[in-house]
Amino acid sequence: MKHDHLRHPPIAWTVGPSDEPTFSEQMTRIEIEIEDQAGGEYVVVSQCTTEHGEQRIALGAEEWPAIRSAIDAAVAECRDFRGQS
C-alpha cells in the first residue's frame, strides 16, 4: 500500500522549567498528550512523581471550555496569582 499523504501530528508535550534538563529531579514533569483508544480523542494530562506514582486526567474536547473556566476561576483566587497578568 502506497502512502501519498502521511502526517505526523504532535501528540505529546512536556512542560517544565526552561533551565532544567528533562531528567532533572528538580523538574516537575507534566505530560500532555492526545490519546485515541477507538472511542474518540482525549487530551490526557499526566504527572509521575516518586511519592504518588502516575496521576492522569483525560478530558474530552466538549468538556474543556467548562473545565478551563473553572480552573481559571480557581487560579484567579490563589493569593500568589492575584494582581499578575
Contacts of 9 (CB under 8 A, 6+ apart): 34
Q: Which amino acid is at 21?
A: P
In this predicted model, what pLDDT tens digit does every residue of 42-77 receive, in sequence order? 998 888 777 888 888 999 999 999 999 999 999 888
For residue 42, the tally of other CB atoms under 10 A from its CB is: 16
User: Residue 69 has what pLDDT?
Assistant: 96
CB 43 within 8 A of CB 64: yes
The pLDDT of residue 85 is above 60: no
In this predicted model, what pLDDT tens digit does every residue of 23-51 receive, in sequence order? 776 666 677 888 887 888 899 888 877 78
